[in-house]
Amino acid sequence: MHEARLTALRAELSRQGLHGFIVPRADEHLGEYVSSSAERLGWLTFFTGSAGLAAVLPDRAAAFTDGRYVLQMAAQTDPALWERRHITEEPPPAWLAEHAPAGALIGYDPMLISEEGLQRYRDAGLAMTPVAANPIDILWTDRPAPPLSPALPHAIAHAGRDSAAKRADLAAALRQAGQDAAILTDPASIAWLLNIRGGDVPYTPFALGFAILHADATTDLFMAPEKLSETTRAWLGSAVAVHDRPALAGALAGLAGQRVRVDGATAPVWFAQTLRALGATVLAGMDPCLLPKAIKNPVEQQGARDAHARDAIAVCRFLHWLDGAAGRASEMDAAAVLLGMRAEAPEFRGESFPAISGAGEHGAVIHYHATPETDRAINPGELYLNDSGAQYADGTTDITRTIWTGPGDPPAELRDRVTRVLKGHIAIATLVFPQGVAGPHLDAFARAALWRAGLDYDHGTGHGVGSYLSVHEGPVSLSRAAKPVPIAAGMILSDEPGYYAPGRYGIRLENLLLVQPAALPDAQKPFLRFETLTLAPFDRRLIARDLLTAEEAAWLDSYHARVAAEIGPHLDPAARAWLAAACAAAG
């Protein structure tokens, strides 16, 4: 089956007069989590990670992913068919430029790549040509239907501001910039702007659609009409006109002669290409919703605190259960137990991403997902890593803990590595930094203790998190590869350094942090700090106290005291006693 699909694709490319084709792991919204109907990369390569791309030529093909998924890609793809490549160390444009025949026409689907993404291929000297029909869609005869989950109102009690106020602010910004309209292709932006949520993709409450925000604050929403009940239409109000998706092309024609903002990084290039062909002036600019969405208002900030406190009760109950589970539970068992505990909360809406429940060597697979084929027992005497999160009506959570399964003391190597990761985590959590600093400027603080030992990890240190939206939210992230967008008060970012020994173990320690103004009496300009939202103990058996500075040890003791005080009263007596012991300061 693997080979048959690749052979059929090559035949279809030849029929279309193409010498190559790129298959991104994206849908027409260029999102991380996609519906089953958009899993084209998975259909072709059988790789199921949430980041990747395939490049197909007549005589060779390559599959690309980042450091989170290199081991998973190696396990899921056929080495006889696919060269496996690290997407940052050997980018697809460079690979194609080296291996494509001279003068080759490389096809792409203009709904599945951004203008900035396409330009990287052109900069490599490739002749890129859009396809009228995606060849994967032609071959994928049993492709699932597009999702039609209902779009639902997101209450002001959780959103904090009504849609009309948000639209008025953004429209004023468009007018000030001399722009007539902005194209919105990110479902998170539309969800935030219109205060709606949905269920079209796994783990993230999106109602898939497109929108045009006009400079007079009116909005055209393009969404399958059966997804919008009369209640939701009334919620949207008369200033939001609802159209079926096929009406989008005609609406773009109505923008002829106007100045239209299109985000070159997040919008499919089809929008810019179509608008230019219709006579509109396309102005490159960031999606106007991205920064306001990332900067949570006071209601959203309190919702995040409430969601994390609720989540912490489930996580601490789970860690208590896990304390005696080694030898009698598997990775899938553990993930199911934690999911069940979270689901007891009335506000629970689902997981925020596929839970990573990895024991021993599976912990080294950065985005490992246990399946019936890979599931194994959590054994005594090894590390167990759990990275998971939840969607609640008032907030989104994401936490990672690395646990020693006991009995006895962990080896010195593990204690050294975990402590170095913890030192990096504390370095971020305690940072005070001037306003205007961006995510890439902070990444090295988390790595310093590992670098001193010649160690590192192959992923970013942190990502933005939405408010009952995407667990991976831009435009800010703590990563060397990120664009330097300044961090601002109100943003929620993860703090998750790690270390991975392939085939042996993985370590990651993650809390979510809320950016706050820092009150510094002698500051000559505004400074920022982090408020820790996540509340769950770190495994003190894995911490080499002598490697911590006095300040780091004091932070750890203070954090654990807070966890015990705030979460302990909500646990049953046995779990409360376990938590008190887990959070006890070193004596």
3-state secondary structure 202-264: CCECCCCCEEEEECCCCEEEECCHHHCCHHHHHHHCCCEEEECHHHHHHHHHCCCCCEEEECC
Residue 20 · residue 96 · CB < 8 Å: yes
Strand partners, 350: 391
Question: Based on the domain organization, do 109 and 156 belong to the same domain?
Answer: no
Question: How far is 300 from 6, CA to CA, in rounded Å?
Answer: 47
Q: Quick check: bond before 475 cis, omega within 30? A: yes
DSSP SS3 for 184: strand
Q: Give the C-alpha distances (Å, rounded to integers) separating 570 from 318, 388, 557, 583.
A: 13, 21, 20, 15
Tell me the two tokens of residue 249. 């092309």
Q: Domain for residue 145, yes or no? A: no
Residue 189 lies in a domain: yes
Q: What token pair was written down for 410?
A: 């962990």
Q: How crowded is residue 58: how many other Cβ atoms within 10 Å of its Cβ? A: 14
Same domain, 335 and 449: yes
pLDDT (tens digit, 9 = 90+) per residue, 55-80?
Answer: 999 999 999 998 888 888 998 999 99
Q: How far is CA 387 from the centre of its chain?
A: 13
Indicate the pTM of the whole model.
0.94
Q: Are residues 388 and 464 in the same domain?
A: yes
pLDDT of residue 586: 77
Which of 560, 535, 494 is closest to 307 using CA atoms?
Answer: 535
Position 96, amino acid: L
Are 370 and 465 in a shared domain?
A: yes
The enclosing domain of 527 has a CATH number of: 3.90.230.10
Nearest one of 25, 30, 53 to 263, comparing CA atoms:
30
Q: Are residues 480 and 566 in the same domain?
A: yes
Assess whether 164 and 92 both reside in one domain. Answer: no
- Flag whether 146 is in a domain: no
**Residue 587 placed within a domain:** no
Give the pLDDT confidence score for residue 71 in this predicted structure. 85
**How many domains does the structure of the chain reveal?**
3
49 in Cβ contact with 367 (< 8 Å)? yes
Is 359 part of a structural domain of the chain? yes
- Token pair belonging to 172: 């004023």
CB 120 within 8 A of CB 91: yes
In whole angstroms, give the CA distance from residue 33 to residue 425: 27
Please check whether residues 567 and 483 belong to one and the same domain.
yes
**Domain's final residue, options 139, 174, 209:** 139
Question: Which pLDDT belongs to residue 1?
Answer: 75
Tokens of 206: 């999106």
Residue 67's pLDDT is 81
What are the helix (H) ranges across 22-123? Answer: 40-45, 70-76, 92-99, 115-123
The CA-based dihedral angle spanning residues 503, 505, 506, 509, taken in that order and rounded to the nearest 10 degrees: 180
> Residue 232 sits in a domain of what CATH number?
3.40.350.10
**Among the listed residues 427, 437, 429, 428, the one whose alpha carbon sits nearest the alpha carbon of residue 487:** 437
Which of 265, 286, 307 is the endpoint of a domain?
Answer: 286
As a whole number of angstroms, the distance between CA 113 and CA 129 comes to 12
One domain for residues 406 and 493: yes
Residue 147 lies in a domain: no
Last residue of a domain, one of 286, 321, 344: 286
Q: Count other Cβ atoms within 10 Å, centred on residue 277.
A: 11
C-alpha 444/C-alpha 574 separation (Å) is 40
**Contact of 421 with 498, CB cutoff 8 Å:** yes
Structural domain contains residue 586: no
**Which one-letter amino acid corresponds to residue 139?**
L
280/301 same-domain check:
no
> Are residues 405 and 545 both part of a single domain?
yes
HEC string for 141-156: CCCCCCCCCCCEECCH
Integer Cα distance of 427 and 140 in angstroms = 49
Answer yes or no: are the C-beta atoms of 251 and 174 closer than 8 Å. no
Q: Is 585 part of any domain?
A: no
Judge if 50 and 197 occupy the same domain: no
- Cα–Cα distance for residue pair 404/449, rounded to 1 Å: 21
Q: Which domain holds residue 21?
A: 2-139
Helices 92-99 and 115-123, axial angle in degrees (round to 10): 40
Q: What percent of the chain has pLDDT over 90?
A: 94
| 117 and 226 share one domain | no
Return the structure tokens found at 360.
């021993």
Question: Which residues, other chains included, contact 336 with Cβ-Cβ below 8 Å and sequence gap of 6+?
Answer: none
Q: Which residues pair with 351 in a beta bridge?
A: 390
Nearest to 369 by CA among 510, 186, 203, 147: 203
Q: Token pair for residue 38?
A: 């958009």
* pLDDT score at 587: 57
Distances (CA, A) of 374 to 72, 82, 362, 551: 11, 22, 9, 41
**Residue 512 near residue 494 (C-beta atoms within 8 A):** yes
Closest CA to 182 of 274, 283, 268, 290: 283
The ranges of the chain with pLDDT < 50 are none
